[in-house]
Amino acid sequence: MTLIRERFAAACDPFSELDPSEKPPIPFVWKRPGEIVKNPQFITGGATRTDICQGDLGDCWLLAAIASLTLKEKTLARVVPQDQNFGPGYAGIFHFQFWQHNEWLDIVIDDRLPTFKDRLVFLHSSEHNEFWSALLEKAYAKLNGSYEALKGGSTLEAMEDFTGGVGEMYEVKKAPENFYEILGKALERGSLVGCSIDTSSAAESEARTPFGLIKGHAYSVTGIDEVSYRGRKVQLVRPRNPWGQVEWNGRWSDNSPEWQSVSPSEQKRLCQTVLDDGEFWYGTPLKNKYADENQYSLKADPFTASDVPVDPSYVLLHIGLSVRFLVYTFWTNPQIRLHLTEKDDGNDECTFIAALMQKNRRKLRKLGAEMLTIGYAIYESPSKDGHLNKDFFRYHPSKARSKTYINLREVSDRVKLPPGDYVIVPSTFEPHQEADFCLRIFSEKKAITENVDGNIDINLPEPPKPTTPQQETEEEKQFRALFEQVAGEDMEITAEELEYVLNAVLKKTNTIAFEKGVYLKFDSDKSGTMSSYELRSALTAAGFQLNNYLLQLIVLRYSDDQFRIDFDDFLNCLIRLENANRASLPSLSESMDPALLFCYEHKAIRSRGGSTNFAAPKQSPLNCRRAQKSSRAAAQKPPWRQERWSCRRIAAAGHGLPPHSECRPKHLLGKLVPGAGPDKKNSMWG
């Protein structure tokens, strides 16, 4: 359980913390419940859907999910702990729990709420002294960064945050014939259900239809039932408007003549009332005039969830349904292997739900981040292990894919495939976009998942043993003489002198011919630079099989703004990888933190004065001895030859970006990348 505590001071304006992007449209006054009413209560007479009344914030999608949540007592008790009140022990704070990316977070807030003329501005209860729903909305706003971030969304998103389940979305006109039965089973097993009418343009949003329904508005579905009407059974659905008013006025609405043909006992069983409370029965055939889109969230109970923690991953590239040339970059996306071994009962195929979720986009909206258009494709996996290359995707079509690439937080689909091994490749639709993501698999029977890119394997020949002076060749003796000539009596050289010696040696020996050959092989356009998309293949050819996490660090460290890597940086990368693998540290193939490779870089910088300015980090065991040696040598040399070592930290936190700007790649300076930061931790697939 992760605890998120309120960080802003009690005296500051919470709106500046919860909505930093714009000023309130009206002069809010932040008040505690005890300052609004004389006898505030957390919950009065139980939490019910009538406690959900929308205010001035456009978050009907959230309110519809909360209304559905009140129908599930156990689920509600987890999200809204019931042992809170304004009685003895009241401290002015409340806490709520939400699911986020495979963990439950405990969100703690103070109880000051935005008011105008002593009325709550946003979500409120029909009981003026009841505050659980308003405080829940504030906690959810904190989870997502601001009240402003809650404007517009999908009911499915909030439903998943309340349950931790995976969601499915149905478009009614394309729904299966047994759609009504699907709704019934979903409600029976505790799923939350919502519906809405799709809009064709922004101008239609919140537009009222002739029969009282609101386009682009989220409704919760609180029940379904059948009623006897003139000798036949009529299927009814009961939506609820989170406004607490404005209802359907067509067939089977509160005042419709159809109810006159239904017995009073049947009306009582269905809780039929003539009240403008936002809840109504709807009896029009679903296939004809019901909402274009119905969505519901499945809790994980009836499925087997498969969540394997792997390294953080980017979704960088895309594949188009007909754009075949993008196969050259699509293969570099993360790949997750899925083993389907058990068939469904009474079926020769295996059923599972694949749900791809992009993380923290709503929270980062204030930084300009929007929901990206995402999706995934599923391929039958060959027997060989490892990352599938571009040739595989060029000649093998997908076995299944998400129904659409769409800019929602999550894309999920129910898939049926024969038993076997498959690879799921998530991606964005547009190229060169980044998204921190989470992929979940829910299956009817047991399924095994693993990250294709999780292993690190380095296969290098043993380095030659140093020869003794007596065994040196004539060429090696010349190199030793060159070193002694440059080093002088102290037998030590500076970084600049080392560069001179190395250049002289390389001109004679050409010992980097292999590395140069690898680089030229993957410089496909002969431009003198290599695309970072080819980096995985180039490193594999050089003997390094790395995972996505480490590859991302290398790209961030060495590529330019066009994701290109020149030969010098490629060679530097190979040397760093080889040295780390040969050092007296755990092998890269073991459980070593890849960030250790790129945590510290030491560079000789000309000293401005005669004294030595030495700053060597204690955390760098590889360079500690070297730095101490340079410090002693600097004191014996004239000022013009003195140098100082400066530490430039490359951290693998969050998206792998360094926390200090001086060590970021040049193309990232001054550019704030979502999710970066020294304290951010990622889990699961992403």
- Say how far residue 189 (Cα) sits from the centre of its chain: 28
CB 60, CB 243: distance < 8 Å: yes
The answer on 406 and 258 residing in a single domain is no
113 in a domain, yes or no? yes
Answer with the residue of higher pLDDT: 175 or 147: 147
Q: SS3 for 419?
A: coil
Which of 298, 321, 351 terminates a domain? The answer is 298
Q: SS3 for 149?
A: helix
Is 60 a catalytic site residue? yes
pLDDT (0 to 100) of residue 532: 75
CB 254, CB 227: distance < 8 Å: no
Catalytic residue of the set 101, 124, 241, 573: 241
pLDDT band at 205 (very low <50, low <70, confident <90, very high): low
Catalytic residue of the set 124, 217, 602, 655: 217
Reading the block at residue 53, the tokens are 């009344």
Which amino acid belongs to residue 568? D
Percentage of residues of the chain with pLDDT beyond 90: 14
351 in a domain, yes or no? yes
Domain of residue 280, CATH code: 3.90.70.10
Reading the block at residue 117, the tokens are 């003329």
CA separation for the pair 141, 619 (Å, rounded) = 39
CA separation for the pair 101, 437 (Å, rounded) = 9
pLDDT (0 to 100) of residue 122: 92
The answer on 317 and 444 residing in a single domain is yes
Average pLDDT over residues 205-224: 81
CB 242, CB 54: distance < 8 Å: yes
Which of 453, 473, 498 terminates a domain? The answer is 453
The answer on 422 and 318 residing in a single domain is yes
CB 607, CB 639: distance < 8 Å: yes
Tens of pLDDT along 62-119? 988 898 888 888 899 999 999 999 988 899 999 999 999 888 999 999 999 999 988 8
Reading the block at residue 292, the tokens are 């274009």
What is the extent of the structural domain holding 49? 2-163
665 in a domain, yes or no? no
Reading the block at residue 123, the tokens are 């979500």
Reading the block at residue 422, the tokens are 């498959």
Which of 453, 479, 498 terminates a domain? The answer is 453
Beta-sheet pairing, 2-4 with 104-110: parallel
The answer on 412 and 359 residing in a single domain is yes
Tens of pLDDT along 184-196? 888 888 888 888 8
How many CA atoms lie within 13 Å of 344's alpha carbon, on the beta-carbon side? 14
Partner residues linked to 416 by β-bridges: 351
Listed in sequence order, the DSSP H helices in 40-101 are 60-69, 73-79
Reading the block at residue 209, the tokens are 């239809």
Average pLDDT over residues 535-539: 81
CA separation for the pair 375, 401 (Å, rounded) = 8
Split into its structural domains, the chain has a count of 3
The answer on 64 and 204 residing in a single domain is no
DSSP notation for 527-565: SSEEEGGGHHHHHHHTTEE--HHHHHHHHHHH--TTSEE
Spatial neighbors of 69 by CB under 8 A, at least 6 apart, are 75, 76, 79, 162, 192
* Best CA proximity match to 406, nearest among 376, 442, 362, 438: 376
Reading the block at residue 180, the tokens are 């009504």
Is 217 a catalytic site residue? yes
